[in-house]
Amino acid sequence: MAHTSTKTGTRGFKLSFEFFPPKSEEMEHQLWATVDDLAGWDPEFVSVTYGAGGTTKAPTLAAVRRLIGETGLATASHLTCVGATREEVAQVVEDFRAVGVKHFVALRGDPPTGVGSAYQPHPGGYENAAALVEGLKTLGDFEISVSAYPEKHPESADLSMDIDMLKRKVDNGATRALTQFFFDNDHYSRYLDRVHAAGITIPIVPGIMPILNLNQLKRFASMCGTSIPASLDKRFEGMDDKPAERATVAAALAAEQIADLQARGVDEFHLYTMNRAPLVNATLEQLGLQRSDATVRNRAGALA
């Protein structure tokens, strides 16, 4: 499954992909088929999510180990500080360092009692993501990405509080921010203006979520504070029982969003894949892009 990067810069922007660790044999097969398919887009890096309180440490570690050992893809592991002491976090970091991780996506994480419930720092743990970033820098010279929220974190009183937290994360060593998904690019542009006004200069990489299921997405968006434009309902109207047409619209929407952000000067995108390749492939193909020749040949051979 090894892939050699053939980045040429011709597409005009950088890509990264997010995966989540599989919870069953079927999902495991789907993940690795997706990784193999998407590797041909030559991502700058891929990341693997990590559950609150270390609930997915073992599957995350297994996925990261295989990504680093077999694919040649630069791989980041998410890391949270929920439900863990600083010593326990340090041990997790050592476990991931041992399999070759040099890049962490440092997140506070959701409360163990669920999204929307009050967050309580673990006694002896890191109180927030800024403290986690600071702790990571004392444990090693890691590349550290963090989260950003163009429409504000649902627990923040206002956007200024959010930007103050981002500034603390940057001051403590973060070198990139990956945003929560959004669908109104004006939200991102206004957010970027405020971030820059606060003296934050790291890349604020927009997170793009191709829409697999609009109703499910609405439920997820309501929990994380993302607004859903009414125009999305109109674009998907009458397509509940037309999966092929729905996928075409979804790819077009994601491609339009990326193209518009490019026109605004954005040159890096983080795609939430949901461990599925077809919609990501269709989105990038809508932009007129092609996978590397090596991957195209591999896919053709697999289908022969």
What is the CB-side half-sphere exposure of residue 229 using CA atoms within 13 A?
Answer: 15
Instruction: Say how far apart CA 215 and CA 62 lie, in whole Å.
Output: 32
Helix (H) or strand (E) holding 242: none
Contacts of 169 (CB under 8 A, 6+ apart): 106, 129, 130, 133, 146, 177
Which residue among the candidates 18, 44, 134, 151 is catalytic per the annotation? 18
Q: Which of 146, 150, 148 is nearest to 191 (CA)?
A: 150
* Cβ contact 46:73 at 8 Å: yes
Active site residue 18: yes
Please give the Cα distance from 277 to 34 (Å, whole number).
Answer: 5
Q: Sign of the C-alpha dihedral, residues 180, 48, 20, 88?
A: negative
Sign of the alpha-carbon dihedral angle for 232, 235, 236, 237: positive
The packing angle between helices 129-139 and 159-171, to 10°, is 10
* Amino acid residing at 214: L
Catalytic annotation, residues: 18
